[in-house]
Amino acid sequence: MSKSENLSYEYALGLLTKEEKAGIDLTPEFLAEVEGVHLKLCALQLQAPLEKDSSKKIWNNISEDIKSESESESWQDVLASRFRMWLYVLPAVFLAFGSLLLFEQTSPMSNPYSVEVLNAKSGWEVNADINNHKLSIASINPMLMGKNEVCALWVQKDGVTHFISTLPNSGDKIVTMDAKIAKMLIGGEAIISIESDAKPMNTPTRIEYRNQLS
């Protein structure tokens, strides 16, 4: 780290005395460096903040070192005091980076199936991944059907109805939808009907369940 960079970090962290600050030429270049340091430290604090007690202890120690530095007379004492300050600051920075890495490694990935189409009370749990045009269907307590009958899932919006898939009697399955049908799930209505497995599924014939989607 250059002398200028070191000074900008000390300025941003409040490690300089009033006399030292007064002796700095606040050029646009230096102020830009300080602003860059502020942005880095703010981002680090937001992503991996220190515990309150640890943060308080660290800055109290820094404050004590600043006080002792102002009372020092020799450049050797000033240098030693400044070195101790960085011994307090650097562990805090490394701890924050370590916390950030741990968070990135352990935080769960967001579930892409974020749109609930049907909940368990319908007999199935159905969730949609709108962006990738997929449905996750899990059989919970399916409806009772006659021989050669199946339960069908439909979506209806703005007077238009589209068949999506048959619903399994057991187990899970993933269904890939047309992009147009996937978009209809936003603000549309999910419909379950009982259909004959020997006839084309053009429109719902015996509707058993409806669910308005948000």
Residues 126 and 66 occupy one common structural domain = no
Between the CA of residue 105 and those of 46, 65, 100, 108, 111, what are the distances in Å?
17, 36, 9, 8, 16
| Residues 128, 198 share a domain | yes
What is the tally of structural domains in the chain? 2
Q: Who has greater pLDDT, 204 or 94? A: 204
Q: Are residues 147 and 88 in the same domain?
A: no
Q: Which residue has the tokens 């970090």?
A: 9
Domain of 204 in residue numbering reads as 115-212
Cβ 191 vs Cβ 153: under 8 Å: yes
**Same structural domain for residues 125 and 174?**
yes
* 171-194 tens-digit pLDDT: 999 999 999 999 999 999 999 999
Residue where a domain stops, chosen among 66, 88, 106:
106
**More confident of the two residues 137 and 86:** 137
| Highest mean predicted confidence (pLDDT) among 70-79, 104-113, 192-201 | 192-201
Q: Are residues 196 and 166 in the same domain?
A: yes
> Considering only CA atoms, which of 149, 146, 141, 145 is closest in space to residue 123?
141
3-state secondary structure of 80: helix
The span from the first CA to the last CA of the chain, in angstroms, equals 54
Residues 90 and 10 reside in one and the same domain = yes
Give the separation between CA 165 and CA 193, rounded to whole angstroms: 11
Pick 19 or 189 by higher pLDDT.
Answer: 189
Boundary of a domain, candidates 52, 84, 106: 106
pLDDT number for residue 33: 83
Q: What is the CATH number of the domain that holds 146?
A: 2.60.40
Do 14 and 49 sit in the same domain of this protein? yes
Q: Which ranges of the chain would DSSP assign to H, the alpha helix?
A: 3-12, 18-22, 28-47, 52-71, 75-106, 179-184
| Residues 91 and 121 occupy one common structural domain | no
Instruction: Say whether pTM exceeds 0.85.
Output: no
- Per-residue model confidence as pLDDT tens digits over 142-171: 988 888 999 999 999 999 999 999 999 999
Q: Which of 106, 136, 171 is the last residue of a domain?
A: 106
Number of other CB atoms surrounding residue 123 within 10 Å: 19
Co-location of 79 and 102 in the same domain: yes
Give the separation between CA 184 and CA 177, rounded to whole angstroms: 11
Compute the distance between CA of residue 192 and CA of residue 163 in angstroms, rounded to an integer. Answer: 10
Claim to verify: residue 44 and residue 132 sit in the same structural domain: no
- 139 in the same domain as 53: no
How far, CA to CA in Å, does 145 sit from each of 36, 122, 166, 187? 67, 14, 13, 29
Q: Are residues 8 and 100 in the same domain?
A: yes
Q: What percent of the chain has pLDDT over 90?
A: 38
